[in-house]
Amino acid sequence: MDILEIATKAGMQVLVDARIGRETYHSVCGSLPALQRFADAVCAAMHEEVPAAAASDEQRK
C-alpha cells in the first residue's frame, strides 16, 4: 500500500519537507472531505489485503 499515492488520489497535497541521508520527510495537508476520502481509501486497501492474507493462511493448512 503506497500511502502517499492514496493521499494524493484523495485530493491531499503531499510535500517533501526534507531529505536527510536516505530518509525523506513529508507533510500532507488537505480539506476534511479529502481526509475522509483518504481514510475510506485506506480502509478499502486494508480490506483488499486481509482476504489475500487469509486465503494464503488457509492454503498452508
Rounded Cα distance, 12 and 41, in Å: 12
Residue type, 18: A
Instruction: Provide the 3-class DSSP secondary structure of residue 12.
Output: coil
Note the Cα 40 to chain centre separation in Å.
10
pLDDT at 3: 94
Q: Write down the mean pLDDT value for the chain.
A: 88
Opening angle at CA 11, ends 6 and 12, nearest 5:
80
Concatenated DSSP letters of 16-48: EEEEETTEEEEEEE--HHHHHHHHHHHHHHHHH
Task: Look at residue 50 in the predicted model and tell me its pLDDT.
Answer: 78
Q: How sure is the predictor about 4, in pLDDT bands with cuts at 50, 70 and 90?
A: very high
Tens of pLDDT, residues 12-40: 999 999 999 999 999 999 999 999 999 99
